[in-house]
Amino acid sequence: MARPRAFDQSTALDAATQRFWAAGYAATSVRDLGESMGLSQASVYNAFGDKRALFTQCLDHYLDANMRARITRLEPSLPPRQAIETFLHEIVERSLENRLGCMLANAAQEVAPHDTVIAAIIAERMGELESFFRRCTEAGQRAGAIAASVDPIATAQLLLTTVMGLRVLARGYPLRDLLEGAARQALSVLGSPTTQPTERNTP
């Protein structure tokens, strides 16, 4: 019983997310966001609340579309060790495609220290990623692809740290050799494959 929106909420959120992702919170103005979304400032405020509220929606949107989507895509479809390996390799490739890094890491550095609500979101999502790595490590051990001597908790902690580190390097030191070497060495803590998960079975 009223005038409907002339724009698609999700598309607009995508555009805003891209802006925040590229330039960060402080350096992105609401006018910039409106321009990217094709909206006037008034519509932005009407549809999304204030700048901070829009940012949290963008952050959630980004994390659902990227990190969580990657987890839910890889975890059920790949053997656990390969899921870990593929996750890291995809992060490396994405980091080399564009130098935007990871909006989660960016937000953790820029926003989290000064905003407890956003900090809680970030901590929760980092916990999700850590849990993914731990589940995969444990499942890999049960499947025999990862040595039982590996500590799943510390491994998940290192892998989470590595992902965040790769995202920083993507912005400040984006060399393929560096990112690939770091990822490969991080994966080496899983030990030599007890089976050959990435190759076809060779009798």
Partner DNA sequence: GTTGAATTGGAGCGTTCGCTACAGAATTAT
Partner DNA sequence: ATAATTCTGTAGCGAACGCTCCAATTCAAC
Helix residue spans in the chain (DSSP H): 9-23, 30-37, 41-48, 51-63, 69-77, 80-97, 103-110, 116-143, 152-172, 176-187
184 binds, among its own copies, DNA, none (CB under 5 to 8 A by kind): its own copies
Task: Report if residue 169 touches its own copies, rule: CB under 8 A.
Answer: yes
State whether residue 81 is helix, strand or coil: helix
Task: Report if residue 158 touches its own copies, rule: CB under 8 A.
Answer: yes
Q: Which of residues 18-57 bind DNA (CB under 7 A)?
A: 28-32, 39-43, 45-47, 50-52
Please give the Cα distance from 71 to 93 (Å, whole number).
16
Minimum distance of DNA from residue 99's CB (angstroms): 22
Size of the site for DNA (CB under 7 A): 23
Task: Report if residue 10 touches DNA, rule: CB under 7 A.
Answer: no
CB 73 within 8 A of CB 186: no
Please give the Cα distance from 203 to 83 (Å, whole number).
24
Q: How far is CA 5 from the centre of its chain?
A: 30
Q: How far is CA 114 from the centre of its chain?
A: 21
**Residue span 152-171 as binding mask against DNA, x where in contact by CB under 7 A, dash where not:** --------------------
**Contacts of 25 by beta carbon, 8 Å cutoff, 6+ apart:** 55, 107, 110, 111
Query: Residues 63, 74, 146, 160: which binds its own copies (CB under 8 A)?
Result: 160
Task: Report if residue 155 touches its own copies, rule: CB under 8 A.
Answer: yes
Q: Which of residues 98-137 bind its own copies (CB under 8 A)?
A: 99-101, 104-110, 112-114, 119, 122-123, 126-127, 130
Task: Report if residue 93 touches its own copies, rule: CB under 8 A.
Answer: no
Please give the Cα distance from 12 to 89 (Å, whole number).
30
Residues making contact with DNA (CB under 7 A): 1-7, 28-32, 39-43, 45-47, 50-52
Where do contacts with its own copies occur on this chain (CB under 8 A)?
22-24, 26-27, 99-101, 104-110, 112-114, 119, 122-123, 126-127, 130, 151, 153-155, 157-158, 160-169, 171-173, 177-179, 181-182, 184-186, 188-189
